[in-house]
Structure 1
């Protein structure tokens, strides 16, 4: 069953750290089988209306997403982020 890695950036504290993270995280997650589905600020918002950067990445399974998160390459990206953003990150199974 597919899975989706969803990250919502509640606050960006240091743009340079976020950029350094993105430079490392993108290739690390793609090499681990992830496919970017959506990335950026919302075009429209409803209900609470939060204009927060959101990233959605598809993986073949929850286990594949977990393995990507735990990989040395992604851990290097997290080290580069080093408090540069306050995020809510989750892995959600797809509906099949």
Structure 2
């Protein structure tokens, strides 16, 4: 079964307090759902659109696990804490 990944790219962080609150809740929620953080940083280089903002890559054992993690009550609480604090794009993709 292929692994799956959350790929989160930030366009901007508008409220650092909300981002911090999200981080405190999201990290344990994602890890409890089987997620493993692969990368969490500002890109070393950015091409095409050239956006050098925070990027996060999280690995899950399957697409089903990745989708389920997003729907857990613990992660929903993290999203509520983040509401309006960032502009980002979260995609869930299946590995090869």
Structure 1 residue 82: deviation in Å? 1.3
Q: Give the corresponding residue for 2:81.
A: 80
Q: Kindly tell me the number of residue pairs found equivalent between the two proteins.
A: 95
Q: Give the corresponding residue for 1:15.
A: 16
Runs of 5+ unmatched residues, structure 1: none
Q: Give the corresponding residue for 1:61.
A: 62
Q: TM-score, normalised by structure 2?
A: 0.95
CA RMSD of aligned residues (A): 0.8
For residues 7-59 of structure 1, the C-alpha deviation after alignment (integer angstroms, 9 at most, x for no partner) is: 11111110110110011001100010000000010112223221011000000
Find runs of 4+ consecutive structure 1 residues off by over 3 angstroms. Answer: none
For residues 39-93 of structure 1, the C-alpha deviation after alignment (integer angstroms, 9 at most, x for no partner) is: 0101122232210110000001111011100000000000100110011001000
Q: TM-score, normalised by structure 1?
A: 0.95
